[in-house]
Structure 1
Amino acid sequence: MDQYDVVVIGSGPGGYVCAIRAAQLGFKTALIEKYAALGGTCLNVGCIPSKALLDSSELYFNAAHNFEEHGIGLKDLKVNLEQMIKRKSEVVEQTVSGIDFLMKKNKVDVIHGLGSFVDKNTIKIAGDDGDKEIKGKYIVIATGSKPNYFPGMEPDKKRIITSTEALELKEVPKKMIIVGGGVIGLELGSVYGRLGTEITVLEFMDTIIPTMDRTMGKELQKVLKKEGFKFNFNHKVQKVENTGKGVKVTALDKKDKEVTFEADYCLVSVGRKPYTEGLGLDKIGIKTDKQGRVETDDQLRTNVDNVFAIGDVVKGAMLAHKASEEGTMVAEILAGQKPHINYRLIPSVVYTWPEVAGVGYTQEELEKAGREFKTGSFPMRALGRARASGDLYGQVKILADKETDEILGVHMIGARTADLIAEAVVAMEYRASAEDLARMSHAHPTYAEAVKEAALDATGNRSIHS
């Protein structure tokens, strides 16, 4: 029986990063993956393919609506969805091949099959070539999550679909209903909305992207409404039916009145849930909470001393970069190092256009905590760079402590904010003040100048260009 120092179950952004870091630190490492391709949800049916389709649909949308303003004339413009899907698949294949290369480079043994616990040090792997067992001194659970749904909205993967099926549609729907106004639903809704689909969003809460700063949700809603999105808030979906050539969705509105909606497809996008099916957690007594998440301490160790868990399968935001940080942390803890993660400084991003990004406390959280703060903001349209590119919509908002001026939260909507948010993360990791950020030189003309201007505004209405 093969013996390893570290065995990682699951090859998503948490698992494969953990395996690489463990190997770098001198551990003999194995990575178990039940599917043929490495990379987990993120690389295969999540982050990467959705961004590929978002970029393709954005190019089409700009060609249809914005190129003429730039002096570019086109005729007979049409959508070739089959080619978009093909390109998306090629991007995924290239990315997955990159993970294969990294495994070989770092001498990580990859074993394909369904891994499950025999005991706390022994893992059985059920593969196409039969079963085998391996032993590990330490085991890391990194099995991720799968799409969630509630009773009455069970996906049939034909007309009632999840994000996975939305990445493989054979046609551009005339109408699509999205249950849930969170990140995944809005991103995939944007893909098809840009291609001409009429999008209707049914959201249980009273805002979209409810976990982010409310200002950002309101601003994004304005943009999406201009693009034809229809929003129905405070709606509780009761039932989703496949009618043969379409779907019928029954919901209760904010007055508890029954209302119905019809479309070609219904995308059920009400979050994700931890995936531990088939792991055999009960065999070694690993504890899970009511949401099915594996319980861990602040070092991501389970109640079984040699077993750790990371990523979507434990508490916290279900984000690929959060999983990667946790994978690195566990490997370094096993090596006797003392890494840490400040979970408050894990950024969140919505890859619509404009993009939305945030890190730290939201204004609503600070108000609820009774903490005194000051706010600075700056509109993207006041930037020369934004006028040059035509990306005028959006703003940067900075929240700082009223007394110390320490930055408590940064929230932004606009062009390339998914990249700009890293500046805020760096500043907050070093506990910078708004004054610190305001005095940093920012290249001109750039979108990043909005961060400097918002910081100037937060330090006492010192913004130069607004």
Structure 2
Amino acid sequence: MHSPVVVLGGGPGGYAAAFLAADEGLDVTIVEAESRLGGTCLLRGCIPSKALLHLAKVIHEVEELKADWGVEYAGEPSINVDAVRGRKEKVISNLTGGLAQIAKRRNVTVIQARGSFVSSGELKLEGDHESIPEGGSITFDHCILATGSVPAMPPSFDIGSDRVMDSTGALALQDIPESLLVIGGGYIGLEMGTVYASLGSKVTVVELAEGLLPGADRDLVKPLAKRVDAMCEGRVYLNTKVGSISEVDNQVEVTFEGPNKFGHERFDRVLVSVGRRPVTRGLGLENTQVVVNERGFVVCNSQQRTADPKIFAIGDVAGDPMLAHKATHEGRVAAEVIAGKAAEFDKRAIPAVVFTDPEIAWAGLTEEEAKRDGREVSVAVYPWVASGRAQALNITDGLTKWLIDPETNRVLGCGIVGSGAGELIAEAVLAIEMGCEVSDIAETVHAHPTLGETLMNAGEIYFGTATEIYKPKKKAKA
């Protein structure tokens, strides 16, 4: 079988590339090992985790109603795990079913098989699905590599027990363990820890670094760290190393080495969330001209071209940040380049969102990066305690901030912590991409009372014109 364009991987980058290439009039085939399109993001990542996080948020809000508003209920809520799991699977099924229909309407061929490169122009197809062509291979003019990433599991933690889970295992929601250890204080560990704590587990978090969410600005992390500490009832241990893991008497025994946590303790389950690695091994890339760097990422340029003229790479295999929305846009670029258009991936801002409660979102330059690079920036921070909307919703621990070039007044970055931060960051991304000056945001009329107006308010802070806060801008030295 021959296809002018083959996309290896049916995740958000892969199917976006395939659909756009089809819209450009190209004959396209997706090769996907899973029985459904959607990749990690849809099947066992972004979408199911956000569905469960919604449940966790609602449970927390009900608790706040009882504590702060005097709302009484007949009794404590009970969790039907089968029903929760069923609802999560329904969300996945609805979306994957939709993708299958869209593929048919666009005349995109989908082959369910594991693909590996025989050469720069041919894939070997392994599996027993009826969609695999006779001969078990497919040739192509161009291939878009979109195989994504998988959870990293250090060998010392891989003890062959289902009690030690990665994010995929945690999302399977086999049960609600009485005690759960989360190894890794990054976004995946904190999101899943939030879910299990809300469902009734006694959660402990251990992080090797000195703070949660390493790399994020500390003022954004602070409100979340406070919430996580309360959620875990003080069982958050930083600067702490996990020495060994073993299964003992139907529990997992873990040893710790840290200033506030030393010795060993047993847990019903352990979630290992120490990062992800790109899927570039076992693909036969050595049979092509594709170059893979020391971190396992495929080397490619701004047009997603690899060192092999027939092969493009997008998404997690193409390098950080490993985010679904970045993969989607890279897929569009690859499809347009193959179609003969002048396109490249050249973004000033790629938003990052941590869907905890409160949410954290940032885009563009961060304060941590500015400090590291010795770059001079002005920072304008608007605390949500001054927001009428935040006061009404009792979410006053949030903040919105802009990072601004003091010479040109252009916005370079934005950070938000608080409810709905992931939605609010979109305006900031647009502003950064357009090269807006902070006055463009400050002078744009925002609806009141909303959390969106905190972006305007933070701009007013920069000029010293915020009405709810008295903080005149410092005058320049003569």
Q: Does 1:105 align with 2:105?
A: yes
1:258 deviates by 5.0
Within the candidate set 262, 268, 286, 1:264 is matched to 268
Could you say which residue in structure 2 is the equivalent of 1:358? 362
Write the deviation string for residues 52-95 of structure 1: whole angstroms up to 9, x where unpaired. 11111222232234256456432232122221111001101111
Within the candidate set 246, 255, 258, 1:253 is matched to 258
8 Å contact kept, 1:155–1:161: no
1:385 deviates by 1.7
8 Å contact kept, 2:159–2:246: no
Q: Does 1:57 align with 2:62?
A: no
Judging changes above 3 Å, is the alpha-carbon distance between structure 1 residues 309 and 244 closer, same or farther for their aligned structure 2 residues? Answer: farther
- The whole-number CA distance in structure 1 between the counterparts of 2:224 and 2:452 is 19
- The whole-number CA distance in structure 2 between the counterparts of 1:156 and 1:346 is 37
Write the deviation string for residues 413-443 of structure 1: whole angstroms up to 9, x where unpaired. 0111100000000000011111111111101
8 Å contact kept, 1:202–1:232: yes
8 Å contact kept, 1:241–1:247: yes
- The whole-number CA distance in structure 1 between the counterparts of 2:222 and 2:266 is 26
Write the deviation string for residues 105-164 of structure 1: whole angstroms up to 9, x where unpaired. 211110101111122111121121465222211001100110002231116351110111
Could you say which residue in structure 2 is the equivalent of 1:147? 151
- The whole-number CA distance in structure 2 between the counterparts of 1:236 and 1:168 is 27
Could you say which residue in structure 2 is the equivalent of 1:337? 341
Could you say which residue in structure 2 is the equivalent of 1:395? 399
> TM-score, structure 1 length as denominator?
0.95
- The whole-number CA distance in structure 2 between the counterparts of 1:82 and 1:293 is 38
Within the candidate set 406, 409, 413, 1:409 is matched to 413
1:171 deviates by 2.5
Q: Does 1:463 align with 2:466?
A: yes
8 Å contact kept, 2:302–2:345: no
Could you say which residue in structure 2 is the equivalent of 1:48? 47
- The whole-number CA distance in structure 2 between the counterparts of 1:253 and 1:71 is 42
Cα-Cα RMSD: 1.8
Matches within 5 A, 1:158-237: 158-228=162-232, 230-237=235-242
Gaps of 5+ in 1: none
8 Å contact kept, 1:148–1:271: yes
1:227 deviates by 2.3
Amino acid at match of 2:251: G
- The whole-number CA distance in structure 1 between the counterparts of 2:159 and 2:42 is 22
Amino acid at match of 2:20: R
8 Å contact kept, 1:410–1:424: yes
8 Å contact kept, 2:216–2:368: no
8 Å contact kept, 1:143–1:275: yes
8 Å contact kept, 1:180–1:269: yes
Q: Does 1:369 align with 2:368?
A: no
Q: Does 1:124 align with 2:129?
A: no
Could you say which residue in structure 2 is the equivalent of 1:19? 18
8 Å contact kept, 2:125–2:137: yes
Amino acid at match of 1:146: V
- The whole-number CA distance in structure 1 between the counterparts of 2:34 and 2:211 is 37
SS of the residue 1:14 aligns to? helix
Could you say which residue in structure 2 is the equivalent of 1:89? 89
Could you say which residue in structure 2 is the equivalent of 1:35? 34
Q: Does 1:66 align with 2:70?
A: no
Greater CA deviation, 442-451 or 56-65?
56-65
> TM-score, structure 2 length as denominator?
0.93
Write the deviation string for residues 204-230 of structure 1: whole angstroms up to 9, x where unpaired. 111111122222122210122222352
Judging changes above 3 Å, is the alpha-carbon distance between structure 1 residues 115 and 265 closer, same or farther for their aligned structure 2 residues? Answer: same
- The whole-number CA distance in structure 1 between the counterparts of 2:419 and 2:348 is 24
8 Å contact kept, 2:12–2:328: yes
Could you say which residue in structure 2 is the equivalent of 1:241? 246
SS of the residue 2:371 aligns to? helix
Gaps of 5+ in 2: 470-478
Amino acid at match of 2:308: V
- The whole-number CA distance in structure 2 between the counterparts of 1:384 and 1:340 is 42
Write the deviation string for residues 325-370 of structure 1: whole angstroms up to 9, x where unpaired. 1100111111222233344401000001111100011112112222
Judging changes above 3 Å, is the alpha-carbon distance between structure 1 residues 154 and 64 closer, same or farther for their aligned structure 2 residues? Answer: same
SS of the residue 1:313 aligns to? helix
Amino acid at match of 1:232: Y
8 Å contact kept, 1:251–1:258: yes
- The whole-number CA distance in structure 2 between the counterparts of 1:96 and 1:146 is 20
SS of the residue 1:329 aligns to? helix
SS of the residue 1:356 aligns to? strand
SS of the residue 1:15 aligns to? helix
SS of the residue 1:64 aligns to? helix
Amino acid at match of 1:241: S
SS of the residue 1:167 aligns to? helix
Identity of aligned residues (%): 37
1:295 deviates by 1.7
Amino acid at match of 2:467: I
